[in-house]
């Protein structure tokens, strides 16, 4: 009898009927088929047949976008060319020597032929003469005149021999491809040192693309002035020190200069300097730099990036602003990325987008302790890191560029410059309202009336209450109907029937319950024929002019400090005068180190109004100090502007008595002598005490260790120690007090000193101890000879580096494993490696045993981003952990690469100087081999299933990835052939465009979707934020800590209530629990599947939505061109985990796929024009346990065997 047929479609042939067999054959076939399906995954994230590229979905409906819509979207999102910079607000004043209408006097020069080549720079300058076609002679009175590219090229030749010339531009110049102005010798000290006056003209279409340092229109300048110059174009280099106008600036100034376009460096790390105008500015106190009235409208990107300058030391920046975007991986600042020693920024603002660094800020990212910021305008943050001084009370926060420009720079914010205008001049922004035309309002009359609240007229600004209302709402008519006084202040103030205000004034010696006038006015508001009546309260404050006159006459006139021409004792500084407690006096000193203001006499309620004490400290020399008395009126109401007057008092402080000064100085010198007798000068590397030769000269090779304040027996707070060096290049002293170490920079051999005035390498080191109270100082001088480096002496150090690289695995292994191919137990990191007396390598694993003279592992580039690895990085942290190198064996053998970067502890710093600036430090080229040497070890970690297997295949990993906000998929795709060891963070960074997320470590706090919508933590409730899942579960580690396996489904999803996924708190910036979060009330680790903290950001202009990051991340090396597939996922109601869907395209072709399920929601991959239907629903509500499967197999086997036995008995009986 024929069995009925199973009409369900088979896996291979949809729709084909398959007959069912009988007997033992049926059992075998059924078991085989069952086993096949048992080991098939229950859900597949995306089939391999998915379309390679799918257009973006329509954002309004969630349906696939049409090809026309996609094309239109792409066209609309194309990045626009950045605007050219605004010209300075003030017109450029006429410059001496400018051309008149007749033009410049033409002069011709003949070249001078010399019998011998010039042997010095001075001789070369004498031989070089101006070229025939370049007008002018290069002097201040007769500058060279340039008006074309040809003129600039002639100028290049002149500057190579005579860098100190004066130059003026006569017209705009479009330059195109450009080689920066830089001396042919390559030395910054021979760079342009004259005056380049753009006269308000522009260098346009600048295109600089180099592979060297010091890149810009000028590569570098030294002792130069650049002014009134506008530059636009593109400047880039694979190395550092990159600026739109100048790459590197020493002892120079830029005034009235601007840049627009883009500046970028391909260099990495904290020395990749890039700036809108200048990459690197200043170098030492004698090589300072200054910027004034400068601006940047271009985009800047680098390691340390700034809108005006990337990195600056001993630099002042004032009256300047930035509107361009700045991206710095290490530091990013709107004005300056990193402001080091003794820098200052004043009257500057930035409104551009600043990103990259976690501490990116509108003015400065990192502000050094001796640097300052004051009177600056910012949008979000002034400074993000460092201990410098920020005068926050003088700074202004606003996102309105016009407002910031008016209050910080002065005048109206410049608008965009027309690139076709040959003489760009400042002008209003196109969006700026016309002051003669009232702005339109879309508010109704009732809404306007409801918005009116209490009026607070301001003295000196507001004279009429009707005018105040009309100024706020110019489209309505205001009629004053009545005025009612609401407090008993007699006739001290008034509002008349026309609305005119008489400000409050009364005798402050009297008593009143209220020191202001209070009124209620009734007004009619009319608009478009309708009228609404409104009653508005009005508060009338003091007549400030009368109050100030009274304070000056009745209070300040009574302040008398007596004779202040020769002061040597403390002063009495009154807090009140003539018993008028309603006028209190505060005091400030122009030099608190000489006269400080103390309130020591005001410690109780009875002495609250006792005089201040001016504490006088006489020093070795007399001092002039200005004391300022500020009288503040105390009768003002809360919220009323302060009313005050000031008066200054000059004070001449006598010097100490000569005998007393000499006594203090002798005591200080005795302390210095005792400290050096106790500790002496020591070699900081070997710890050996340095001894002078017969001439009293100390010869040094390494940094110098000095005695500490404890050795001198003083408290550095009251007796500070300061250091000074006569040669800051060879011997560098810190610019902080109480330092006990001096940096030594040895030159390369005696020949390298030929270019230096210090032929013998002798330096005077001065150590001073001061009495802070008196200013008396004692100084002890030491003569130091800095020993040159002879390359021949370093053969053993180069050999040590090579040996360390060759035996790197031995250093990691410490004899624990038989070989790199047989690793089964933990490896061991090291601190240092050196060679003993027999030449054998010694690997130091205890920091207490370091010699500080050998090879050491140093921080690798990029470690700061996640802080998961620093010195030792593993290619597969799941098998061998980063840093501590713990081994976790897997079932199968695994090949792992361990990487480090090695440098010489002593000589590595010279190689670093060369790497950062190969021009300035060219003499150290040969020492580059002792700095940042990459090294790696390839190891095989044996598997547990077969420890004898000595081969491992680095199995590539295919990963499916999606980002969803809970209602739609923002980004999605499939990565193929990723290297083994790839983490969830690696994939996330490849998928989401670099500017579209904020993170702290690998914790993602904010993501911007393709449509520009920002979704950040806590934006949908106190417990809302981003989590991630792998194959439907939330791991207990951050994204960077999760190593992906082949076939993994990685989903980053936004949840409104993260507490549903575990017991945790959202990480907070200050480490305290977030309001409304769950937990113990203390700071806790990141939630399961979460990653630190951060802030949201807006999508960058021109962002394209889904796609890979613009820069490849470490570990992402696709083997095939289609390593990434873009997939668009559409939410599919009714579809659930385990369903199979048939996707049909418009041309009739179809494919089978399975949905992506993110908790409750399912998504299917659809391209434009495709549709789907469920062809096989998953009717199971839960997966069967494995023992269920084996029980079913056993029962079927028993039935099969029984059936076979019955059949055989039946056949046997039939035959019998």
The answer to whether position 477 is within a domain reads yes
- Note the pTM of the prediction, 2 decimals: 0.47
Mean predicted confidence (pLDDT) in 919-948: 92
pLDDT of residue 64: 35
**What would the DSSP string read from start to end of 413-470?**
PP-PBPTT-SS------TTSPPTTSPPP----HHHHHHH---B---TTT--BHHHHHH
- Compute the C-alpha angle 670/671/677, nearest 5°: 90
Range in 852-861, 1022-1031, 1140-1149 with the lowest mean pLDDT = 1140-1149
Q: Is the distance from CB of 741 to CB of 706 less than 8 angstroms?
A: yes
At residue 119, does pLDDT exceed 90? no
Mean pLDDT, rounded, of the chain: 79
How many C-beta atoms lie closer than 10 Å to residue 515's C-beta?
A: 21
Helices and strands in the chain: count of H runs, count of E runs: 16, 70
618 and 708 belong to one structural domain: no
The answer to whether position 284 is within a domain reads yes
- Gyration radius of the chain's alpha carbons: 39
Report the Cα 916 to chain-centroid distance in Å. Answer: 20
pLDDT of residue 759: 57
pLDDT tens, 288-297? 999 999 999 9
Mean predicted confidence (pLDDT) in 713-727: 93
Residue 775: how many CA atoms within 13 Å on its side-chain side? Answer: 17
pLDDT of residue 1157: 65
Split into its structural domains, the chain has a count of 8
pLDDT tens, 321-376? 999 999 999 999 999 999 998 999 999 999 999 999 989 999 999 999 889 999 99
Confidence of residue 1126 (pLDDT cuts 50, 70, 90): very low
pLDDT of residue 297: 95
Confidence of residue 978 (pLDDT cuts 50, 70, 90): confident
The answer to whether position 494 is within a domain reads yes
Token pair, residue 155, equals 């100028």
Q: Is the distance from CB of 283 to CB of 319 less than 8 angstroms?
A: no
642 burial type by CB count under 10 A (0-12 exposed, 13-18 middle, 19+ buried): exposed
Give the residue from 771, 788, 805 where a domain finishes. Answer: 788
Q: Which residue has the higher pLDDT, 57 or 984?
A: 984
210 and 323 belong to one structural domain: yes
637 and 664 belong to one structural domain: no
pLDDT tens, 1073-1105? 333 332 333 223 333 333 433 333 323 333 323
Confidence of residue 1203 (pLDDT cuts 50, 70, 90): confident
Mean predicted confidence (pLDDT) in 187-211: 92
pLDDT of residue 5: 33
Range in 175-184, 369-378, 1049-1058 with the lowest mean pLDDT = 1049-1058
Mean predicted confidence (pLDDT) in 1017-1027: 87
At residue 103, does pLDDT exceed 70? no
Q: What percent of the chain has pLDDT over 90?
A: 48
The answer to whether position 557 is within a domain reads yes
Q: Which domain holds residue 1056?
A: 957-1127
Residues 397-424 as b or e (16 or more Cβ within 10 Å = b): eeeebbebbeebbeeebbbbbeeeeeeb
751 and 627 belong to one structural domain: no
227 and 360 belong to one structural domain: yes
Q: How far apart are the C-alpha atoms of 935 and 902, rounded to whole Å?
A: 7
Confidence of residue 41 (pLDDT cuts 50, 70, 90): very low
Confidence of residue 530 (pLDDT cuts 50, 70, 90): very high
pLDDT of residue 348: 95
613 and 695 belong to one structural domain: no
Range in 475-479, 566-570, 893-897, 1194-1198 with the lowest mean pLDDT = 1194-1198
The answer to whether position 164 is within a domain reads no
625 and 718 belong to one structural domain: no
pLDDT of residue 682: 95
The CATH number covering residue 992 comes to 2.170.130.30
In the 8-state DSSP scheme, what is residue 409? Answer: I
Mean predicted confidence (pLDDT) in 128-156: 81
At residue 1136, does pLDDT exceed 80? no
Q: Are strands 230-237 and 202-210 parallel, antiparallel or unpaired?
A: parallel
pLDDT of residue 641: 92
Q: Which residue has the higher pLDDT, 513 or 714?
A: 714
Q: How far apart are the C-alpha atoms of 582 and 507, rounded to whole Å?
A: 11
pLDDT of residue 632: 95
Range in 547-551, 566-570, 1015-1019, 1108-1112 with the lowest mean pLDDT = 1108-1112
pLDDT of residue 112: 32
pLDDT of residue 1147: 77
Confidence of residue 34 (pLDDT cuts 50, 70, 90): very low
709 and 728 belong to one structural domain: yes
pLDDT tens, 73-98? 333 333 333 333 333 333 333 333 33
pLDDT of residue 17: 37
The answer to whether position 1031 is within a domain reads yes
Q: Which residue has the higher pLDDT, 1185 or 265?
A: 265
pLDDT of residue 750: 55
At residue 1184, does pLDDT exceed 70? no
**What would the DSSP string read from start to end of 1077-1123?**
--SSSS--PPPTT--------PPPTT--SSS--SSPPTT---SSTTS
599 and 529 belong to one structural domain: no
1120 and 1136 belong to one structural domain: no
Range in 287-291, 429-433, 943-947, 1084-1088 with the lowest mean pLDDT = 1084-1088
pLDDT tens, 145-169? 999 999 999 999 888 878 999 999 9
Region for 251 from its dihedrals, namely left if φ exceeds 0, alpha if ψ lies in -120 to 50, beta otherwise? left
525 and 591 belong to one structural domain: no
The CATH number covering residue 249 comes to 2.160.20
Give the residue from 499, 519, 541 where a domain finishes. Answer: 541
Range in 180-189, 608-617, 1191-1200 with the lowest mean pLDDT = 1191-1200
pLDDT of residue 1068: 35
Mean predicted confidence (pLDDT) in 234-248: 95
pLDDT of residue 547: 96
pLDDT of residue 162: 86
Q: How far apart are the C-alpha atoms of 1156 and 1137, rounded to whole Å?
A: 8
Q: Which residue has the higher pLDDT, 979 or 12?
A: 979
pLDDT of residue 1158: 58
Give the residue from 541, 568, 603 where a domain finishes. Answer: 541
pLDDT of residue 1035: 86
Range in 21-35, 387-401, 620-634, 980-994 with the lowest mean pLDDT = 21-35
Q: What percent of the chain has pLDDT over 70?
A: 77
The answer to whether position 427 is within a domain reads no
Q: Which residue has the higher pLDDT, 644 or 5?
A: 644
The answer to whether position 10 is within a domain reads yes
At residue 386, does pLDDT exceed 60? yes
Mean predicted confidence (pLDDT) in 883-896: 92
Q: How far apart are the C-alpha atoms of 501 and 932, rounded to whole Å?
A: 74
pLDDT of residue 933: 96
1123 and 1133 belong to one structural domain: no
Confidence of residue 1032 (pLDDT cuts 50, 70, 90): confident
pLDDT of residue 969: 83
């Amino acid at each position: 009898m024929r069995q009925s047929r199973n009409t369900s479609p088979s896996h291979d042939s949809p729709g084909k009927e398959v007959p069912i067999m009988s007997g033992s054959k049926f059992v075998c076939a059924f078991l085989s088929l069952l086993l096949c399906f048992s080991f098939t995954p229950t859900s597949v994230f995306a089939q391999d047949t998915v379309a390679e590229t799918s257009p973006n979905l329509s954002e309004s409906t969630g349906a696939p976008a049409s090809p026309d819509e996609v094309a239109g979207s792409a066209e609309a999102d194309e990045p626009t060319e950045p605007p050219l910079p605004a010209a300075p607000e003030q017109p450029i004043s006429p410059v001496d020597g400018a051309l008149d209408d007749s033009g410049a006097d033409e002069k011709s020069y003949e070249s001078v032929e010399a019998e011998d080549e010039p042997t010095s720079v001075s001789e070369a300058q004498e031989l070089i003469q101006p070229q025939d076609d370049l007008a002018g002679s290069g002097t201040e009175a007769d500058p060279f005149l340039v008006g074309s590219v040809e003129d600039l090229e002639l100028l290049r030749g002149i500057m190579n021999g005579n860098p100190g010339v004066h130059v003026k531009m006569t017209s705009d110049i479009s330059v195109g491809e450009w080689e920066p102005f830089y001396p042919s010798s390559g030395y910054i000290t021979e760079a342009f040192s004259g005056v380049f006056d753009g006269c308000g003209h522009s260098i346009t279409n600048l295109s600089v693309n180099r592979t060297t340092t010091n890149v810009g229109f000028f590569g570098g300048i030294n002792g130069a002035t650049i002014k009134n110059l506008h530059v636009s174009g593109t400047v880039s280099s694979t190395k550092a020190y990159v600026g739109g106008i100048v790459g590197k600036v020493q002892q120079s100034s830029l005034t009235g200069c601007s840049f627009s376009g883009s500046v970028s460096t391909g260099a990495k790390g904290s020395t990749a300097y890039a700036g809108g105008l200048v990459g690197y500015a200043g170098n030492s106190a004698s090589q300072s730099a200054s910027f004034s009235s400068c601006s940047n409208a271009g985009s800047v990107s680098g390691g340390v990036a700034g809108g005006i300058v990337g990195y600056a030391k001993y630099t002042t920046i004032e009256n300047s602003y930035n509107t361009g975007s700045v991206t710095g991986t290490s530091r990013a600042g709107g004005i300056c990325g990193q402001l080091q020693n003794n820098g200052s920024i004043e009257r500057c603002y930035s409104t551009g987008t600043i990103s990259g660094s976690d501490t990116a800020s509108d003015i400065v990212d990192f502000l050094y302790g001796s640097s300052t910021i004051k009177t600056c305008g910012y949008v979000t943050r002034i400074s993000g890191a460092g201990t410098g001084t920020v005068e926050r009370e003088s700074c202004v926060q606003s996102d309105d560029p016009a407002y910031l420009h008016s209050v910080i720079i002065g005048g109206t914010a410049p608008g965009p410059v027309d690139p076709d205008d040959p003489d760009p001049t400042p002008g209003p922004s196109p969006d700026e309202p016309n002051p003669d035309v009232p702005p339109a309002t879309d508010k109704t009359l009732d809404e306007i009336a409801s918005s009116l609240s209490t009026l607070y007229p301001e003295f000196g600004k507001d004279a009429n209450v009707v005018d105040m209302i009309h100024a706020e709402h110019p489209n309505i008519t205001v009629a004053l109907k009545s005025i009612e006084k609401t407090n008993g202040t007699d006739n001290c103030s008034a509002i008349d029937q026309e609305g005119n205000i008489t400000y409050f004034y009364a005798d402050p010696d009297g008593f009143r319950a209220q020191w202001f006038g209070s009124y209620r006015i009734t007004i009619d508001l009319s608009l478009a024929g309708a009228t609404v009546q409104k009653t508005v309260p009005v508060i009338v404050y003091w007549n400030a002019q009368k109050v100030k006159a009274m304070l000056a006459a009745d209070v300040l006139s009574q302040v008398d400090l007596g004779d202040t021409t020769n002061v040597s004792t403390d002063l009495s500084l009154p807090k009140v005068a003539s018993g008028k407690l309603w006028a209190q006096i505060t005091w400030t000193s122009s030099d608190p180190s000489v006269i400080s203001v103390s309130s020591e006499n005001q410690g109780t309620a009875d002495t609250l109004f006792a005089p201040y004490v001016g504490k006088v400290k006489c020093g070795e020399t007399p001092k002039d100090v200005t004391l300022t008395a500020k009288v503040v009126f105390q009768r003002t109401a809360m919220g009323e502007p302060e009313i005050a007057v000031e008066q200054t008092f000059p004070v001449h402080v006598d010097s100490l008595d000569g005998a007393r000064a000499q006594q203090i100085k002798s005591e200080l010198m005795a302390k210095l002598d005792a400290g050096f007798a106790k500790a002496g000068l020591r070699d900081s590397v070997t710890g050996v005490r340095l001894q002078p030769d017969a001439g009293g000269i100390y010869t040094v090779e390494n940094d110098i260790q000095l005695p500490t304040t404890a050795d001198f027996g003083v408290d550095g707070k009251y007796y500070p120690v300061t250091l000074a060096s006569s040669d800051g290049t060879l011997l560098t002293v810190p610019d902080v007090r109480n330092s006990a170490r001096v940096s030594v920079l040895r030159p390369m051999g005696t020949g390298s000193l030929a270019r230096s005035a210090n032929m013998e390498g002798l330096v005077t080191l001065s150590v001073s101890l001061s009495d802070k109270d008196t200013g008396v100082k004692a100084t002890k001088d030491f003569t130091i000879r800095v020993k040159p480096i002879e390359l021949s002496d370093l053969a053993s150090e180069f050999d040590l580096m090579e040996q360390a690289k060759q035996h790197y695995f031995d250093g990691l292994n410490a004899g624990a494993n038989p070989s790199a191919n047989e690793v089964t137990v933990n490896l061991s990191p090291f601190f240092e490696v050196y060679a003993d007396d027999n030449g054998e390598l010694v690997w130091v694993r205890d920091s207490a045993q370091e010699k500080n003279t050998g090879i050491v592992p140093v921080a690798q580039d990029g470690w700061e981003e996640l802080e998961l690895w620093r010195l030792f990085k593993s290619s597969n942290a799941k098998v061998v952990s980063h840093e501590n190198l713990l081994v976790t064996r897997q079932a199968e053998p695994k090949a792992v690469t361990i990487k480090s970067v090695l440098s010489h502890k002593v000589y590595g710093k010279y190689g670093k100087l060369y790497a950062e600036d190969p021009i300035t430090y060219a003499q150290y080229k040969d020492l580059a081999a002792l700095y940042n040497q990459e090294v790696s070890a390839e190891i095989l970690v044996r598997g547990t299933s077969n420890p004898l297997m000595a081969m491992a295949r680095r199995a590539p990993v295919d990963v499916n990835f999606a980002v969803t906000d809970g209602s739609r998929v923002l980004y999605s795709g499939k990565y193929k052939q990723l290297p083994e060891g790839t983490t969830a963070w690696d994939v996330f960074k490849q998928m989401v465009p670099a500017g579209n997320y904020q993170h702290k470590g690998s914790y993602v706090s904010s993501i911007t979707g393709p449509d520009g919508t920002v979704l950040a933590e806590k934006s949908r409730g106190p417990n809302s934020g981003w989590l991630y899942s792998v194959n439907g579960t939330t791991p207990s580690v951050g994204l960077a800590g999760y190593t992906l396996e082949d076939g993994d489904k990685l989903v980053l999803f936004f949840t409104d209530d993260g507490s549903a996924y575990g017991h945790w708190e959202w990480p907070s910036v200050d480490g305290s629990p977030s309001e409304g979060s769950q937990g113990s009330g203390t700071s806790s680790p990141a939630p399961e599947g979460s990653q630190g903290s951060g802030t949201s950001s807006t999508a960058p202009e021109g962002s394209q939505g889904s796609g890979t990051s613009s820069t490849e991340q470490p570990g992402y090396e696709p083997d095939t061109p289609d390593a990434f597939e873009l997939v668009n996922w559409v939410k599919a109601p009714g579809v659930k985990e385990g369903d199979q869907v048939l996707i049909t395209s418009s041309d009739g072709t179809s494919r089978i796929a399975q949905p992506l399920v993110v908790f409750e929601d399912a998504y299917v991959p659809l391209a434009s024009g495709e549709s789907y239907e469920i062809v096989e629903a998953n009717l199971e509500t839960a997966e069967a346990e494995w023992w269920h499967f084996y029980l079913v197999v056993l029962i079927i086997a028993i039935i099969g065997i029984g059936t076979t036995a019955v059949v055989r008995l039946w056949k046997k009986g039939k035959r019998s």
